[in-house]
Each structure stands twice: as C-alpha cells, then as structure tokens.
Structure 1
Amino acid sequence: MHRDSIGSITKIALQLLLGLSLLVGQKSYAQRSTSASPYSQFGIGQMREDLLPQTRAMGGISTGVKYLNGLPTLNIANPASLSGLNRTILEAGLYGNYTQLTKGQTSDQTADFAFSHLAIAVPLSKYGGLAFGLLPYSDVGYSSSQAGSIDTASYRKSFSGEGGINKAFLGYGVSPFKGLSIGANVGFLFGNLYDIERTEFPFILQAFHTQSTLTRNIRGVTVDYGLQYTKNLGNKLNLTLGYSGSLNNTINARTERMITNFAPSAQEDFTSPPQDTTNIESLGTRKLNLPLKHNFGFTLSKGYNWMIGADFKYADWTNFQNTDNQARLGKGYGFAIGGQIKPDPTSVRYINQVDYRLGFRYNKTPLVYRNQQVNDMAVTFGFGFPLPETNFGRTFSQINVSAELGQQGGLTNNLIRERYININFGFTINDSWFMRRSLD
C-alpha cells in the first residue's frame, strides 16, 4: 500500500506558521517600528538584511553558507544555496531589541519585540530548490525635540519617525553541474514610512497643537542573485566560495503630507484625537534607486563538527534620492567573521549536541553625518538547540538563538552613540515531504 505522508508535527507547525503569516499580513501597515536608532531617519530606514538567527550568531556571514552541521540549510541571503536542499525546511522567528542612546551627558533606553521572519524552502530534486517567505526589510524609529518661542509664547517642536518596509520573496537555486550553484531572489517591497513634525504650546491651554505627517508609501520589485562553488578537500573538509549581489533596483515612493490640529491635554502622556485636518497634499510619486551590492565570502567546514567563514560586503548608495534636508548617502563597506562548533554529535550528553556560534562584524555605513562616517560594529554569539527527532528520523527540528552586542556612531563631533543588544529567536523544522512509503 502506498501513500503520501507529511509528519504530524510538521502539519501542526505549518498551520501555526500560516496563521502567523496571516496575522503579520493584516498588521503590516499598522505596525510600529522596532527601531530606536536616530540614524534610521536617513535613506529608507535601518536595513535588516536577509539573515536568519543561525547566521546572525556568526557575525552575519552568509555568502558562502550552504551547509550547517553537514546538511543543506535555508540561506535567504544567497539563493544559490537553495540548490542543495534535500528536505523541506520551515522557518519562523521573533526579534527583540534593547537600545541605549547617549549624547553628551544625556542617555535614554528603549526596548521592543516583534516578528522577524517566516520562510519555507522546498527541494525540487534534480531541479534545485525553491523558497518563499516574508521578513522585515527596513524600519524607521527616531525622535528628537527642540524648544523655542514666538514673542512671549513658548513652544516645543518634536520630530519623530516610525513605520517599516516588509519584503515578500520567492527564491530559486539550481546546480547546472557538480560543485557550482546559481540562484536568484525576486522580492516585493511594501510598507509605509512616517516622518512626523509636531508643534505644541505647553503653557497656552487655548492654543491648538499642530502635526504634519509625511507618509512615504513604498512599493517595488527587487532582484538579487548569487552563486556558490563547493569543493571537497578530503579528510571530511569542504570549502564553499560564494558571491551574491544586486543591481540598482528601482522602487516607487508615493508621498503624501497631512496637517492636523489637536486640542491641548492637561495630561502629559495623553494625546487627544485630531480635532481637524487642515490640509492633505499629494506630493507625487518618485523613483528610488536602491544600492548596488556586491558580497564575497567563504566557509570551511568539517561535517557535523565545525565551520568557520568570512564575508566582505560593499554597497553603493550614492544614487539614492534623499528627501529634503537629509544627509547624502555614499558607499558602505564591511566584513564579518564567524563560525560554529558542535562538540560531539554522537554523544548521548545533550550539551555536546548543541551548536555553539560566535562572530564579529564591522561596517563603515554609507551615512556621513556632520563630516564623520558613522560606523557600526558588533560581537555576536548564539546557540542551536536540537529537538528530538520524530517520524523515524525524517523530521528533526532546532531552536536557534542569537545575540548581537554592538555600537553605532560615537560621542565625537556631537554625534549620538547607539549601543544595542539584538536578540533573535528562530524555530526550524526539517522534514521529508511527499515521500511514498511501502507497507507490506
């Protein structure tokens, strides 16, 4: 007797993941930003990159990553890796952030938690592999204020930003001949970015507050591509060389400005609803040129035991069209190094079967602010906790946790120092779908 089968655990997980995707889709426009970086006001916000917790824990190396623990893995950042899939992979995760901002003698802290990714990868046998999913692309989250006066009337003006861009993607990878893999991702970007300017007269109860909200509605298609070459070096050693990049993808930004009035409130933390909308103005649609990217990397691994690797990244933002009064963006460079080790995959002790990951990254961002290039660096680490195998060993899962302890900017030249801790949680299911079993 023959039948197609999918493990019961996978069925439950798939239902949960699809439910999460619907929930995220419904809330994508209403979602507040998870960024608290003052530097997210430039460009289209703080870029999140197409990384899962497994690679974030290793400094963000991804270009040369095709296998983890000797098995094919889902690596969204380089679609060429999809050619090696031999099991269906389901990925879902959450993201947490703690940020401390310091300028001069003043400090402030924020924290947030949100959805991070949802993806499914399916092997197509000799025809390669396919992947699709949803993840954040960038987000905006900044705030500042200043005080002034008109004659004898004092006012407070605040500037803030929120919102984000999501990315739905479809990727495909194939191996045209032994050792070489090529692939491409097609992504659809969508979301709203809000820049809010609010003027209040705190000591005049009869004066209405005014708020100007600039909304940038982002839509567009992007194409990324990659290739990898894997070579067996003997003694169970494998070397993978990788490249990934993108051309100058162009997306649309439809801009609208709305001015509203608010009644004053005696409660400091309460914002009254708008009393009147005095103006709604469409500022038209314009093209945004996303950066030209080139990434090079490699990994050297020994089966289930260990892996090390490095990446070099380049992005050219010089053709990006900024909004008024924004600092121009230039060219960004960065590198990442990292790896993982599994002490003894054959051991009966659970601690020896855990994946231990460590990495470091350093980036010269494309932002030059107050004649100083803003740099970003972080130490990363994480763990991969295996779960018991089911379905006669055909289904195995893992919980992945990563942490990034980093700093962006500094205190010189009146800049803002941003110190952060990013935590990513991921749940991975590997399963053999559509297998035909024979029962005698």
Structure 2
Amino acid sequence: MVKKFLIAFFCITAHGIFAQNGTVSPYSYFGIGELRNNGTVENQMMGGISMYADSIHINLRNPAAYSKLKLTTYAVGLSHTEFQLKDFSQEQSTSVTNLDYLSIGFPLAKNLGLGFGIMPFSSVGYNLTDEVEITGEPTITNVFAGEGGLNRVYMSIGFAPIKNLSIGATANFNFGRLEYQRIQSVEDVQFGTLDRRESRINGYDFNFSANYTPTIKDKYTLYTSLMVNTQGNLVSENTERLGSFSLVNGQEIEVIDVDLDATNLRNTEIKIPFRTTVGLGFGENKKWFLGGEYSFQQFSDFQNEFLGLDNVIYNDASSFAFGGYFIPNYRSLSSYFKRITYRAGMRYDVSGLEVNNKEINNLGITFGLGLPLSGTSFDAFSNLNLGVELGRRGTTDQNLIEENYIKINVGLSLNAKWFEKRRIN
C-alpha cells in the first residue's frame, strides 16, 4: 500500500516539475534562464557543498556518493522563496513555490549504487517595465516578459573499486521551452509593436566525480573530492514573430513569422562550458563534519546567438561554499533532540553575468535541521529535512535590480529495504 501511494505521489509531483514557473528573477532574462541549485535540501543547507556521502541519503550532484547507499532511498524536495526586489526608486515583494527534485537511489551490489530522477535545470520568469522619457518627446514604454525553463532527467551510477575511493558518472538529458516577449508603445500612438521569441531546447551533458575518504586515527575521516560537469551541448529550435497591436483592445493587427533561416538562426547551438569543483573536508562519522568547495567555470565561452542582447557580458564564473553538520548522539534513546542533525553553511557565487557593466553575484547563508522519522512504516533512518537560506543577489547600481530573498526548503528522504531478497529462517 505504501509503495502504491509513493508511485502515485511521485507521478503527480513529477507533473508539477513540468508545469511550474520556477523563478521571478529579472536576471532570468539572460542566458538560458536562472540556473537552479540541483542539490538536495541536506546539501543546500550546508552551503551547497556536495562532497559528503553516506549510506542513507541521495547526493544529486556527486554520483560517486551512490556507491555508499545501503538502502533504497526516495527523495523529494520543495521550496518556497519570498523575494524583495528593489531598484534606486522603488521596492516590490513577490514569491514563488517550487518542486525542486524527485529522485530514487538503491544499491545494486556491494559498493555499487544506481539512481535516477527528474529536476528543473533552469527557469525563466520575469515581467519588467522600462519607460524612456526625453524632454519634449513622447514617452516610450517597453514591457519585457518571459516564462518557461529547462527540465533535467538523469541517471547516475557510483562504484567503489578499492577501499576509500569512490567514482561515479551521471548522464543528464535537458529539455524544455523558453518564451520571451517584448512589447513597445509610444505615448499618444494608437498601435504598439510586439516581438515574440520562442526556443525549444534539448541536449545532453555528463557529470563525473571521484571521492577519496581515508580514515585518520581510526576515528576521523578526511574528505576529498573532484567533480567535473562536461560541456553541455544544447540544440535550440527557434521561432520569432513580429507585429503590431491595438493599445485599446489588445487585438493583433499584423503579425508575421520572421524568416530565421535567412539569418541562420532557425537552429542554433547553446554551449554550457565545463565546470570543475574541488572539495576538502574533515569530520567524525555520524557525529560532525566541516568542509569547503571551490568551483570554476569558463562561462566567458557561453553565448546565445538567438537573443542577441547587447547589454550583457559573460565572464568566467566561480563559487565558494563552506558548511557542515553536527549530531549530538544519533543512537540516543532518551532524547529525540540529540538525534537531530543540525546543518549550517554559506556560499558566494560569482555568476559570470555582467549587466550594464556590473557583475551580478550572490551571497547566501544557510541553516537547517534533519528530523528522524522513527516510528513510521519506513526504515528508522528516514528523515524530514528543513532548511532556510537568506541571500542577496544583484545591485541597484546602473539601473539594475537587487534581490533580497528568504528561501524555505522542505525535503523528505525515505529509506526502505524493498529490493532486498527475502530470507527464510
């Protein structure tokens, strides 16, 4: 009965990933939208670091971690984000709720694990108004709107060929649709103009990772990791429509399909550059852990020819993350609070995005709890993970927008022994 309920729940929530509008950020106007943090709640609440692996949690960003799994694990994550957007003259508040991932992982054999799932990869969602006022001239109003995003289905495998060394690989298939619209109107002019663009995108990329975790003094563990996301080669099939419409009733007057074949923009390639992450950490198993990661991406190689924006520059991107966890006593029978996992971290992202000659960077502080779900029909190691992230992105300089946000994360990590063979005593 429980398995049937989970299957139904996973199908319903998977549909939600395809239907949701994942962001309200004006910076999703650029690139292929806002790239989503595709880590589990457990990883996100440690500043987003992904080197840590154990036997009861899925690690979405580090495929080598699947070699550690001892139980079948189901994971689902949701988030709600409250935004405060402001420029030099005004502020606006808004919010968005998302389903962030839906995954399953299980051991295939000793030191060998497999996982697959679905999650958002990028999101587009903005609605901006820009008024150009010149003395003695009519006011020109531009309205920019966009929606859509890319989703990702993946399959990962992890294997430990020798003691303390784990390796893994993930194959990702990315697909989705991005829609952009610009409407321009001039004061006292009856008709406005519109420009609608749509891209249908799909393509593959791969992730590879290696973890080396030697034991020190029979008590502590040194965590080292190397992760490489290969270049994402995406193919975009594009359409564009230009025309005019009535400002009185919104009726379109004359709209034509642009011949993109003539400019070689019907089918374009979008290349997402390599990303390399190195990590170093130290801890006592099932007690505490501290670690840090550094990522680098040559994002200056990125381009999206179809959009052709002239106020944006793509530079090399990097990020720093630091975090960890603490469990007072995971075996405690007398105190539930001693079995709770306490997590915290921080991260700083140099996005590589430069708009109006200003870098758009992000700073986030994270903290959260892992609450054991003992007494349920699942394995005693199942848990509910709660987290909060406080952050700031962007700037109000150069007529740009600063985003202050608070993100609430909820994740379930459910363990079961459904794939184990039955034994007769």
Instruction: State the alpha-carbon separation in 2 of the partners of residues 114 and 409 from structure 1.
Output: 22
Please name the residue that 1:81 is paired with.
65
Match status 1:287 vs 2:269: yes
One of 50, 53, 58 as aligned partner of 2:38: 50
Checking the alignment, whether the CA contact within 8 Å between 2:68 and 2:111 is kept in structure 1 is no
Please name the residue that 2:209 is paired with.
226
Please list the CA deviations of residues 110-155 of structure 1 after superposition, one character each: whole Å capped at 9, or x if unmatched.
1111211101112111361111111111112233223358998655
Q: Which runs of 5+ in 2 are unaligned?
A: none
Checking the alignment, whether the CA contact within 8 Å between 2:38 and 2:101 is kept in structure 1 is no
Q: How does 1:117-156 map to 2 (within 5 A)?
A: 117-126=101-110, 128-147=112-131, 155-156=140-141
One of 169, 173, 177 as aligned partner of 1:192: 177
Question: Residues 115 and 179 of structure 1: is their aligned pair in 2 closer, same or farther, counting only changes over 3 Å?
Answer: same
Q: Which runs of 5+ in 1 are unaligned?
A: 1-7, 267-271
Instruction: State the alpha-carbon separation in 2 of the partners of residues 261 and 350 from structure 1.
Output: 65
Checking the alignment, whether the CA contact within 8 Å between 1:390 and 1:396 is kept in structure 2 is no
Please name the residue that 2:320 is paired with.
335
One-letter code aligned to 2:131 = A
Please name the residue that 2:76 is paired with.
92
Question: Residues 325 and 83 of structure 1: is their aligned pair in 2 closer, same or farther, counting only changes over 3 Å?
Answer: same
Question: Residues 101 and 208 of structure 1: is their aligned pair in 2 closer, same or farther, counting only changes over 3 Å?
Answer: same
* % identical equivalent positions: 29
Please list the CA deviations of residues 169-227 of structure 1 after superposition, one character each: whole Å capped at 9, or x if unmatched.
111111111111111111011111122101246766xx344432111211101111111
Instruction: State the alpha-carbon separation in 1 of the partners of residues 188 and 335 from structure 2.
Output: 67
One of 47, 53, 59 as aligned partner of 1:66: 53
Checking the alignment, whether the CA contact within 8 Å between 1:328 and 1:367 is kept in structure 2 is yes
Instruction: State the alpha-carbon separation in 2 of the partners of residues 357 and 121 from structure 1.
Output: 23
Instruction: State the alpha-carbon separation in 2 of the partners of residues 177 and 10 from structure 1.
Output: 34
SS of corresponding position for 2:59: coil
Match status 1:165 vs 2:147: no
One-letter code aligned to 2:76 = A
One of 354, 358, 361 as aligned partner of 2:347: 361
Question: Residues 388 and 371 of structure 1: is their aligned pair in 2 closer, same or farther, counting only changes over 3 Å?
Answer: same
Match status 1:9 vs 2:6: no
Please name the residue that 1:3 is paired with.
none
Please name the residue that 2:366 is paired with.
380
Q: How does 1:261-280 map to 2 (within 5 A)?
A: 262-264=245-247, 277-279=255-257
Please list the CA deviations of residues 326-353 of structure 1 after superposition, one character each: whole Å capped at 9, or x if unmatched.
4121111211111111222214222222
One-letter code aligned to 1:126 = K
One-letter code aligned to 1:319 = D
Instruction: State the alpha-carbon separation in 2 of the partners of residues 274 and 430 from structure 1.
Output: 55
One-letter code aligned to 1:105 = S
Instruction: State the alpha-carbon separation in 1 of the partners of residues 245 and 11 from structure 2.
Output: 40
Instruction: State the alpha-carbon separation in 2 of the partners of residues 389 and 197 from structure 1.
Output: 55
Instruction: State the alpha-carbon separation in 1 of the partners of residues 213 and 284 from structure 2.
Output: 13
Checking the alignment, whether the CA contact within 8 Å between 1:100 and 1:418 is kept in structure 2 is yes
One of 13, 19, 33 as aligned partner of 1:20: 13
Please list the CA deviations of residues 16-40 of structure 1 after superposition, one character each: whole Å capped at 9, or x if unmatched.
1133224545x3xxx43x2222222
Deviates more, 1:13-22 or 1:122-131: 13-22
One-letter code aligned to 1:427 = L
Q: CA RMSD in A?
A: 2.5
Please name the residue that 1:307 is paired with.
289
SS of corresponding position for 2:214: strand
Count, aligned residues:
416
Instruction: State the alpha-carbon separation in 2 of the partners of residues 410 and 116 from structure 1.
Output: 26
Q: Displacement of 1:413 after TM fit?
A: 4.2
One-letter code aligned to 1:198 = I
Instruction: State the alpha-carbon separation in 2 of the partners of residues 328 and 397 from structure 1.
Output: 45
Deviates more, 1:342-351 or 1:210-219: 342-351
Instruction: State the alpha-carbon separation in 2 of the partners of residues 350 and 128 from structure 1.
Output: 32
Checking the alignment, whether the CA contact within 8 Å between 1:389 and 1:396 is kept in structure 2 is no
One of 170, 174, 183 as aligned partner of 2:159: 174
Please name the residue that 2:225 is paired with.
242
Q: Displacement of 1:415 after TM fit?
A: 3.4
Instruction: State the alpha-carbon separation in 1 of the partners of residues 221 and 247 from structure 2.
Output: 66
Match status 1:321 vs 2:336: no
One-letter code aligned to 1:353 = R
One-letter code aligned to 1:288 = I
One-letter code aligned to 2:7 = L
SS of corresponding position for 1:318: helix
Checking the alignment, whether the CA contact within 8 Å between 2:379 and 2:414 is kept in structure 1 is no
Instruction: State the alpha-carbon separation in 2 of the partners of residues 149 and 103 from structure 1.
Output: 18
Q: How does 1:101-120 map to 2 (within 5 A)?
A: 101-120=85-104
TM-score of the superposition, structure 2-length normalised?
0.90
One-letter code aligned to 2:227 = S
Checking the alignment, whether the CA contact within 8 Å between 2:156 and 2:168 is kept in structure 1 is yes
